[in-house]
Structure 1
Amino acid sequence: MDADEEQEEVKNDLTFDQVFKRIKNYGWYQVFILCTIQCVAFSQAANMAGGLYALGGLIPTYSCTDDNNTFVYDKKNISKHSAEACVAIRSCQNLTKENAWLSMYEEFEWMCNPPHLLSTLASVSPIVGAVGFLVSGHLSDHLGRKWPSIAGLCVSIFGGLLIAIAPNWQIYFGINIVKSLLLPTYGGASFTLCMESVGSKWRLVQSFAFQFTIANVYAGLMAYLTHNWRLHYAVVNLLALPALVMFLFIEESPRWTVQKHKYAEAAKSINKIARWNRRPNVIHTENDMKRIDLGSHAQNHHYNIFHLFSQKKLALYCLSQIATGMCMNMLTTVLLMNIQDLAGSPFLNIALMGLLRSWTPLAAIAMERYSSWFGRKPLLVGAQGVVCLCFSAIIIISVTGYWDKLHALASGLALFGYAVEIGLVWVAYKTYTVELFPTVIRTIAVNTFSLSSMLGSILAPQLIYLKTFWHPMPYAGAALISLVSIVLAVLILPETKGKPMPDSLEEVKDGRMPVPAVDGKELDQLVPTKERK
């Protein structure tokens, strides 16, 4: 077959996998996206670590040496006696405070608030965030991936700068609520944009752009160096401004523009990506974009969250994804709000939350690239099983009375379990979302599962509050939800490794898939010859 015949065959059955193969599945453009997303991740991790529900909530050790008033209140007893501690601390003349840094808890005298207030506020923010994810998913599928991402990033950076000058906890909470409502426009849209701008074989690799592996180390280091929550917020958000500029150079998702019948814009984006990837001679036209069977079976109307449950198959996928998302958020919130329950420096523990999962990208990529049988399902189920075992072991250590003796071991298990959850389970979960759900509702799916995962963030603060009555309660909740995730994944989820992403609901319903770029032999089985043009 000569070059002209090969070119004609590609054009006759053109798919985005074929397009990315021609302009390079993974080149400088995809590397630039990865670096940009990682720069954003640095600021996100630092903002999260410095918040009231993490390092910002560190409890100092208060010591009073008045002649007639001597006491010591610390993280072990102040929560149970907060009202007494408030009066005693405010009345002490010779008060000394020992803390890893100047936290919001110390500056805002949090011990003078009701004990349940912190957990209540921590549960309210995710509820608002859930509304944000619901709305942002629809906005992204109607307005595109790029500009909603940039809008959400602006909210993150400038909201963080406003937090740095918040005069009291009420203003801080108000700004945080606004951020929770608007920030989801970045999360769902940027992930979909990232995954839709790379060849299918590299989707798992590209998903690591959103990992906080190095970002958590950065967050712990910045908190240690600034020694003050206000300075921390100011510095990390000012340093995030270059990431905002970098995002302006990312192209709109060509999959989205074709699905919206903006063929000229899609061709322009593809050709720019080709030049980024040192393939300037590979040029695609508006007519090429029309040939891509993207959404050709889809009805021309707006889609919403109800389409995620419009088919039994999709509804079951949703059930499994919801459980896994809840698990990830619950573990993250439990670890951050419970950071003082772990042995060692809280700054080091934040850094370890990133360092301990530094091996996970290499392991996942090795299994993805060099193993024909190890796909998404073994990755999700196997990693989630390790997480369940880690937190079950922590429960045993606590209930058997060995917590003080094995405190370091329990802390290590918690950090390692978190690393596996966010390092491996997260990647399988996110990759499943973009590979199971078609283009027409993909961002709605990403944002809906981010929304439902907030249930884990809502429940976790209440588990933290209940540890006052039973210490291992947060770890028990994490172990239970991880077990539920395992069972549902085993029973429901299919293997999607190496399979092209569906573009329409009709393809999912009928079992039709676009032809992979690497092989066109299945075309006659999928589409009868008389229907091919």
Structure 2
Amino acid sequence: MNIKKENDKEDNENVEVFDEILDKSFIESYDPSIIVENQVTTETNYGDFQHLGCYIICVLIIYEFLLLLLMGNITFLIFGAAVPNVIGCIGENKNYTFTENGCIKLYEIQKNESCIPIIENQFESIQSEYNLYCKEAENVKQTSAFLQMFAMMIGATFGGQLSDNFGRVKTIKYSLFFIIICCFLSSYATTIEVFNIYRFLGSIFVGTKSSVLHVLLLEYLPKQHRVWVSTIFSFSPNYIIFSFMAYYTKNWRDLMFVISFIGLIGLILINFVKEPVRWLIQKGKLSKARQSMIFIEKWSGKLTDNMEKKIFDYIEEESFKQEESQRRKKSYTFKHLFVTWKLTSYSLFFGYSALVGCFINYALIFNLEKVSGSIFMNTAYLGLIRWFFNISVGILDYYVKWFGRKTCHTLAMVTIILTLSIVLLNIYFPLQQQYIVRFATLFAISMCSQIFIANSVAQTELFPTSIRNIAVSFQAVFARLGSIVAPFLFGFQSYSLTLPYLIMVTMSIVDLTTIWILIPETKGDKLKDHLPNKDEWIFGKKNRELKLLKKVELEKKYGSRCN
């Protein structure tokens, strides 16, 4: 009886809303085709025109310079803020030599007598130049890393919105200009404070650039080439290049100067890259979009009369869509990442996953000088291991149908959990072969690369063009939050040597569980160009009205079939 009353009450409410719609004459502008699901269309998508031609190859070469600049700025502190090793000290009566735990032994000796520390540098970092060691050197590294990552978070917050409004290429170009200036000024900094100021300002634009660069690449690439190209053109080979740059420059000032020179080359080359066709279409710049498509086909040697006709037909089709949607034209913001339950779950997962990936990656990287072996070789090994897995993932993605974004993410996260568990167990049960711990750490860092690649590709395929860069900026904020707190993680070892590794393993397990609950496989999907229809949104009175109209339309449709 109660159920019947509740149903009657709900029906009455629906009737009232429907009457209100009629009073507003909303029904006059109602188009059933907008809200009827599963309609079969023969619309052409820009993805049908994309292929890996000569122009895209030129874009990839330019992209590599931009990527090396980005990677060099983000990971500069591996060398630029490397903490010097204390290998001994000169006492009042005798000299001391330390094989390990130099800082602890130095402080113990200095409690009883004066002892001048003997410092060993693999690279002349900023701490080496100013004769800082142990706790003071650690504080410099943590402060510089915190300021860098905080500045990048600021830049990433606005980067997506700027590129969606003004263009991917234009945003990158202006970011490059300011990055070069700040890098150049940093190389001539007279104090650590001045260095941190220039690095902070430059890192804002590094964050802006980082939130746009990969989206630019993916919008240019055909769907079947997105993953393998992303794995080859990534941070991984640039770790190897960067380790050689550091080895031959020998000190932080020269290394920063070389980075600024690479940025100058990138700034010159970026002028030859056109705005992506998808962005031009989204902004209604159809004439420029047509010119770009014809230009790309010419460069690739595939422009025929038939292809040119297809391009004109496609642009004309987009023109009709633009005219129809002009009255509903609006700017998109972060709130549009949450207009449906699906988009909400995607946004929250990718945000958390980015936080976990960056947290683990930078916590281990900023502690890389503590890993046994040469810092140059460890960085090069890191690049080689990452690149090997990147290429393997690219090959598997291209040739193995079942190896999709979720599979890649899952295997990478399982590897992170296992390798960090090895390092964790080594604390309780020390291994005789310490190279196992060394490479377990490098493998854990390397797997973060696969997480970033799988997430970025899946995110590009799940979010429509209108909010794609906003989605990237949203997850970039979480990524920077992870990287901001990462340098401080190993400070918890003062409470327990195992605590940092327990935190990383727990966060990884949560990530691994969540992806299988919330995220669908997107391999082979075309990029979406438009947001879901408003009748699918989870907020707004108008959406309630659209849902009711949809219900009425479906009742009429199936009711007429029954009659």
TM tier relative to shorter chain: 0.7 to 0.9
For 2:321 and 2:357, locate their aligned partners in 1 and report how far apart those are by CA, in whole Å.
32
CA distance in 2 between counterparts of 1:179 and 1:72 reads: 41
Alignment partner of 1:398 is 2:437: no
Quote the residue 2:86 is aligned against: 61
Residue identity opposite 1:412 in structure 2: F
Q: Tell whether the 8 Å contact from 1:263 to 1:287 is kept in structure 2 after alignment.
A: no
Q: Counterpart in 2 of 1:189?
A: 212
Residue aligning to 2:359 = 330
Cα shift readout 1:436-458 (whole Å, capped 9, x = no counterpart):
11100001111111111112112
The ranges of structure 1 where at least 4 consecutive aligned residues each deviate by more than 6 angstroms after the TM superposition are 79-89, 293-298
1:87 & 1:136 partners in 2: Cα distance? 55
- What is the Cα deviation at residue 475 of structure 1? 3.0
On the 8 A contact 1:271/1:280 being kept in 2, the answer is yes
Q: 1:481-492 alignment to 2 at 5 Å?
A: 481-492=507-518
AA aligned opposite 1:161: F
The 8 Å contact of residues 127 and 137 in structure 2, kept in 1 or not, is answered as: no
Aligned residue type for 1:65? I
Question: Aligned-pair RMSD on alpha carbons?
Answer: 3.0
Q: CA deviation at 1:96?
A: 4.5
State whether structure 2 residue 482 is matched by structure 1 residue 456.
Answer: yes
Q: Are 1:276 and 2:306 matched, yes or no?
A: no
Instruction: Give the conservation status (yes or no) of the 8 Å contact 2:53–2:300.
Output: yes
The equivalent residue for 2:3 is: none
1:209 offset after TM fit, Å?
5.6
Which of 51, 54, 59 does residue 33 from structure 1 map onto?
59
Partner-residue secondary structure (3-state), 2:386? coil
Between the two proteins, what is the percent identity of the paired residues?
23
For residues 207-250 of structure 1, the C-alpha deviation after alignment (integer angstroms, 9 at most, x for no partner) is 23651121101111111112111112112332443222222111
- 1:193-342 correspondence runs (5 A): 193-208=216-231, 210-281=233-304, 282-283=307-308, 288-292=314-318, 299-342=328-371
Q: State whether structure 2 residue 137 is matched by structure 1 residue 107.
A: no
Match of 2:528 among 502, 507, 520: 502
Aligned: 1:443 with 2:460? no
Alignment-derived partner of residue 5 in structure 1? none
Task: Measure the CA separation in 2 of the matches of 1:97 and 1:340.
Answer: 14
**Kept in 2: contact 1:132–1:184 (CA 8 A):** yes
Residue 361 of structure 2 corresponds to residue 361 of structure 1 = no
Instruction: Name the counterpart of 2:189.
Output: 166
Q: For the Cα contact (< 8 Å) 1:438–1:508, is it kept in 2?
A: no
| Residue aligning to 1:477 | 503
Q: Distance in 2 between matches of 1:202 and 1:507?
A: 29
Contact 2:232 2:387 (8 Å CA) reproduced: no
For the Cα contact (< 8 Å) 1:254–1:270, is it kept in 2?
A: yes
SS of equivalent residue, structure 1 residue 65:
strand
For the 8 Å contact 1:37–1:209, the answer to whether it is kept is no
Q: 1:132 to 1:49 in 2, by over 3 A?
A: closer
Alpha-carbon separation, structure 2, partners of 1:125 and 1:164: 16
Runs of 5+ unmatched residues, structure 2: 1-40, 538-556, 558-563
Question: In the alignment, what sits opposite 1:386?
Answer: 415
Aligned to 1:519: none
Q: Is the 8 A contact 1:128 1:177 kept in 2?
A: yes
Cα distance in 2 for residues equivalent to 1:242 and 1:87: 56
Task: Say if 1:78 and 1:85, in contact at 8 Å, map to a contact too.
Answer: no
C-alpha displacement of 1:256: 0.7
Structure whose alpha-carbon radius of gyration is higher: 2
Deviation at 1:289, TM superposition (A): 1.8
What is aligned with 2:374? 345
Cα contact 1:63–1:72 (8 A) shared by 2: yes
| Structure 2 residue aligned with 1:16 | 46
CA distance in 2, matches of 1:358, 1:98: 31
Partner of 2:406: 377
Q: Does 1:420 align with 2:450?
A: no
Structure 2 distance, partners of 1:220, 1:294, is 50
**TM-score normalised to structure 1 length:** 0.84
